[in-house]
Structure 1
Amino acid sequence: MSERSDEWNLQEKNPNNLIGMIDGVKNVKLMVFRLLGALKYFYSFKELEERLGVPAQILWRYVTLRTVPERTTAEKILSKIRESHIIEDVLAKYYIENEELWSLLSNPGIMTLAGLRALDELKDEKINTIISSPDGYAAALGSTFSSLFHARLCASSHSPYSKHIISKNYKISSEFFDVILLPRECVARKSKVIIVTVDGSKSMLLNSLIDLANSRQAHISGILCVIGSKSKIDEVIKSKLKYNTRAIVLINTDEIKEGRKKEQVKFDLK
């Protein structure tokens, strides 16, 4: 066994403490277990070893629950995942290579990574409601969030499925409008909300979702978009809300455009 493996093994004092691992959503050991499992849809254990500096054999033991890491070890791994931007890198790479959003959204790992990213950033908020935009993938993401945060899922739609609804018309083009609907009592007054949508570039839809939440005097703690310009989403938040709301963008098109500009400069210099 390598010296690196020995170093990580020494930190595992109680390898069979599975019950102690599952004690709530804020448990860092459970968070690491779920993150590593989701990252395995995109990386091999060897690639994860190179990115995180943790031996592949140890990572395999964590993912397969042969060993449960001590809290300090789990915190160290979680810190490496944050610092390496491994989640953002793989999602951007996956999208750039495929350029088909459905290809990314159909990967089982994306749902878990999106939920855990939001959970990591909003773990101190008492989220009790998830509002998803009116499409299938957003509803699926919303369901994942609902489970992770133990929160009510309020899936918006274009057609009513409640006698008591709140609605908002929004422009989808220069000539066409659409309507978005929510069951009124699903979003309790003054609830703490996360809005989940796929395409953050649909600013009119995002504005409408915010308006629906505001109509119930809800506090929007976070807005998660799978893809979009974070700077533009921040502008929407600043213009619509008077309190701190976190914008979580899994694939930030600002960074993708900047990366392509740099690549073009390198090409031109050649």
Structure 2
Amino acid sequence: MHVATTTTNSETRVQTVRFAPSPNGLLHLGHARSALLNWRFAKACGGRFLLRIEDIDTTRARPEFERAISEDLGWLGIEWPEPPRRQSEHFADYREALAELKKLDLVYPAFMSRAEAAGHIREAESGGKTWPRDPDGAPLYPSKDRNLGNTERRRRIERGDPHSWRLDMQVALNGLQAPLTWRETGTGPSGQTGQIIADPGAWGDVILARRDVPSSYHLAVTVDDALQEITTVIRGHDLFAATSVHRLLQTLLGLPAPAYLHHDLVRDKTGRKLSKSDGDVSLASLRQKGLGPEEIARMAGLD
């Protein structure tokens, strides 16, 4: 997948960062921390701050939440070039990337539904098997579909069986010429920094395109970062381990590798990270209570 890059006269790329929320809820203090860190980084180096709307999950994305994102960021004093990149408008880019991986024979159709996969795993565990988990604690996808023959795969696809597309992780890793690393300019959850050894195999056969959407988070974010010429990805510790998958996809697709800066998360009094789905206090409600941008920044752990 060819991606053009922009350089200055000194061959130094313009520093470009992005804040990429999903419009499936209201922003909270954790989002404010990440957005402000990106904004301040761009301002400090004379670079660019981009807003990306990660709305590939069209069943949960809502226009009112996208409007709220713009209102919250504008209130914090953050500016960006309009319009933002909306993933739902760029499915063709993700289809192109997936097609390249298909040509390389690195993906396979996965026919098991979530319920079927969960049942398969429960059966194995009831028999005393310890099922492997990914770094987020989710069970790895069973090998049943990976082991299907090409004839059976074609038969089921032609029959119209619903399926997603997954990366054949072992085949992908076997084709690497050297160990994967990334440059960490922040710190990982355990203080890791500098050159980090990637471990994409820990994620198993990650999903790259869902049954009803021609992409997944991993594929879309990798393609978007390349097309938008992101030089440093600034995001929370909760995505530190996922960087291994992104570095693998960048390598397989011939895409440039940005630097990464992972930061602490904003947590509640119990130590749990804030979440839109859990109904944590939103920036909109804090604003309505009379708090100002400087107070929000302090509450988000920033000076």
TM-score by length of 1: 0.32
Q: Which has the higher contact order (CA 8 A, sep 6+)?
A: 2
Larger fraction in helix: 1
